[in-house]
């Protein structure tokens, strides 16, 4: 059989009409059925494209000039948008972004989970989809004898030098990045250099409580030693009253992972506070905390609605972090058990239960997939299980443990539609029915989407 040849060649220029979007938000144009993926192109557009990569079944192109623009094309407000890898959808109207996310979820459920008759509601979006992030982790480097901070250029480790703000970051965090950078620069604290694995300052991490305006600064260093530490602390705490916690995290490894094992308190408390609804939370440096506070409230309210609690239920919250969902559930349930792998987060969760006078929630450190079977062996029979796993989804052992526990309902909170769809298939095959899916836009301007899913046990099961 004659080998099929791709209809385009590398470096070829052509005009394409776009008809669709990939999951990542790239435009898809076709030449006799052969797809060409082009970042920043939108459906219904016609554009001049340069082919940069050719494969047997697809090619990748670069957008050279838009000849007919979609009404959904908008001018990206960030001046480094096309260099930075952080956002992918700033060129797309917000309406289109949230429509795209709903489609992304619907398609994953269909293609990966073979689930195609379940309502996927319109994505819950933000009124003002900017300046929402409460946390930033920004790399530091040296340039012409000065400290610079900025995100990496796409697919590289070169810092974008002319990045003086990030408009999905909170204003406070933007200001505090610059404050830490300029003070550290003046005090001569050397930047870490990836190539030689020398120097000190690797990253500046900040988290600010949306409702409390309390800021935690985490100085990530290669070395245990932090030159001019005293002066740095003094100036930060004296100049910025919102700073409540200054931590040092030591990461001595050659790695892309930002935080190292050891975190030391330099000044203040080892945590900051924030509020979600009527609950107050302490959050320490290593604990997970949702990055978009107003949307978090909407996400948790949905999870609570899908749990349908009456006050009599025993509930498990797996992957519970600092207990944010657990404590919301506890207000409406008989008893909640939370499990989470990060010990610092469980310490926060226990403290948070006390702080909010909630005495029907218990928290355990461990791998959810190991703790759940152990709970089953102890005779624990939950009425509702809530899971909120990381991007890789639930461990198979955890899904099996859930099925063995036979709860009436499962509420699945997910930040990755692909692993969600995979896991829903297993739960459906195990006797559960997916009732409804609610996408929530936790990450405007990016191609990420969060979902809450309601599952109920089938009667025959
Ligand atoms: N529900 C929480 C946290 C969700 S993020 C919230 O909304 O804030 C997912 C959490 O799962 C993280 O805190 C992570 O540390 C934890 N985690 C990751 N792998 C785990 C495992 N195998 N067992 C238990 N927890 C795990």
Confidence of residue 1 (pLDDT cuts 50, 70, 90): very low
CA–CA dist 340, 121 (Å, integer) = 29
Please identify, by atom number, the ligand 1 atom nearest to the C-alpha of residue 367. 23
Count the neighbouring beta carbons within 10 Å of the beta carbon of residue 4: 9
Ligand 1 proximity of 368 Cβ (cutoff 6 Å): yes
Express each pLDDT in 43-76 by its tens digit.
999 999 999 999 999 999 999 999 999 999 999 9
Ligand 1 proximity of 92 Cβ (cutoff 6 Å): no
Express each pLDDT in 382-411 by its tens digit.
999 999 999 999 999 999 999 999 999 999
Whether residue 415 lies in the annotated active site: yes
Distance 356 CA to ligand 1 centre (A): 21
Catalytic residue among 78, 320, 394, 415: 415
Q: What is the mean pLDDT of the chain?
A: 96
> Does pLDDT of 18 surpass 80?
yes
Extract the tokens encoding 68: 């007919």
Task: State what percent of residues in the chain have pLDDT above 90.
Answer: 97
Ligand 1 proximity of 390 Cβ (cutoff 6 Å): yes
Asked if residue 290 belongs to a known ligand binding site, the reply is yes
Residues 6+ apart with CB under 8 A from 322: 281, 282, 283, 287, 288, 289, 345, 348, 349, 352
Please identify, by atom number, the ligand 1 atom nearest to the C-alpha of residue 299. 7
pTM above the 0.85 mark?
A: yes
Ligand 1 proximity of 325 Cβ (cutoff 6 Å): yes
Closest to 422 (Cα-Cα) out of 398, 438, 446, 404: 398
**Distance from chain centroid for Cα 25:** 17
Task: Please check whether residue 60 is in contact with residue 52, taking contact to mean a CB–CB distance below 8 angstroms.
Answer: yes
Express each pLDDT in 213-265 by its tens digit.
999 999 999 999 999 999 999 999 999 999 999 999 999 999 999 999 999 99
Ligand 1 proximity of 344 Cβ (cutoff 6 Å): no
Residues in the chain: 461
Please identify, by atom number, the ligand 1 atom nearest to the C-alpha of residue 415. 5
- Ordered by where they begin, the domains of the chain are 13-73 (2.40.50.140), 101-127+292-457 (3.40.50.150), 135-276 (2.40.50.1070)
Residue whose tokens read 């996927």: 120
Distance 451 CA to ligand 1 centre (A): 15
């Amino acid at each position: 059989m004659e080998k099929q040849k791709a209809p385009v060649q590398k470096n070829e220029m052509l005009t394409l009409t776009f008809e669709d979007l990939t999951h990542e938000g790239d435009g898809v144009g076709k030449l006799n059925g052969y797809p060409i993926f082009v970042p920043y192109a939108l459906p219904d557009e016609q554009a001049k494209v340069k082919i940069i990569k050719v494969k047997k079944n697809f090619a990748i192109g670069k957008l050279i000039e838009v000849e007919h623009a979609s009404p959904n094309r908008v001018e990206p407000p960030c001046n480094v948008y096309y260099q930075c890898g952080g956002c992918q959808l700033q060129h797309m109207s917000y309406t289109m972004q949230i429509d795209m996310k709903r489609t992304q979820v619907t398609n994953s459920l269909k293609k990966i989970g073979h689930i195609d008759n379940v309502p996927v509601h319109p994505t819950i979006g933000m009124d003002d989809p900017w300046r929402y992030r409460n946390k930033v982790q920004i790399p530091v480097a040296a340039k012409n004898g000065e400290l610079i901070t900025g995100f990496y250029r796409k697919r590289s480790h070169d810092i974008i030098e002319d990045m003086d703000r990030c408009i999905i970051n909170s204003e406070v965090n933007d200001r505090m990045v610059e404050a830490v950078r300029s003070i550290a620069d003046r005090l001569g604290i050397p930047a870490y250099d990836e190539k030689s694995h020398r120097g000190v300052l690797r990253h500046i991490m900040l988290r600010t409580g949306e409702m409390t305006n309390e800021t935690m600064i985490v100085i990530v260093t290669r070395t245990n030693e932090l030159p001019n530490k005293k002066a740095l602390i003094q100036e930060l705490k004296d100049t910025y009253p919102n700073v409540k916690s200054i931590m040092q995290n030591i990461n001595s490894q050659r790695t892309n992972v930002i935080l190292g094992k050891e975190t030391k308190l330099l000044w203040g408390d080892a945590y900051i506070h924030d509020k979600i609804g009527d609950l107050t939370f302490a959050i320490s440096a290593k604990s997970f905390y949702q990055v978009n506070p107003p949307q978090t409230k909407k996400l948790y309210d949905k999870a609570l609605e899908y749990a349908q609690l009456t006050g009599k239920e025993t509930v498990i919250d797996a992957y519970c972090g600092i207990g944010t969902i657990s404590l919301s559930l506890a207000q409406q349930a008989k008893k909640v058990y939370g499990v989470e792998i990060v010990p610092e987060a469980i310490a926060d969760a226990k403290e948070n239960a006390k702080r909010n006078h909630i005495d029907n929630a218990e928290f355990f450190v461990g791998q959810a997939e190991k703790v759940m079977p152990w709970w089953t062996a102890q005779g624990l029979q939950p009425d509702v299980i809530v899971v909120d796993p990381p991007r890789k989804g639930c461990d198979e052992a955890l899904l099996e443990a859930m099925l063995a526990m036979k709860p009436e309902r499962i509420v699945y909170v997910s930040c990755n539609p692909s692993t969600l769809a995979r896991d829903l298939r297993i739960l459906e095959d195990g006797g559960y029915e997916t009732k409804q899916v609610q996408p929530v836009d936790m990450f405007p301007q990016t191609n990420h989407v969060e979902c809450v899913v309601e599952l109920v046990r089938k009667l025959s099961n």
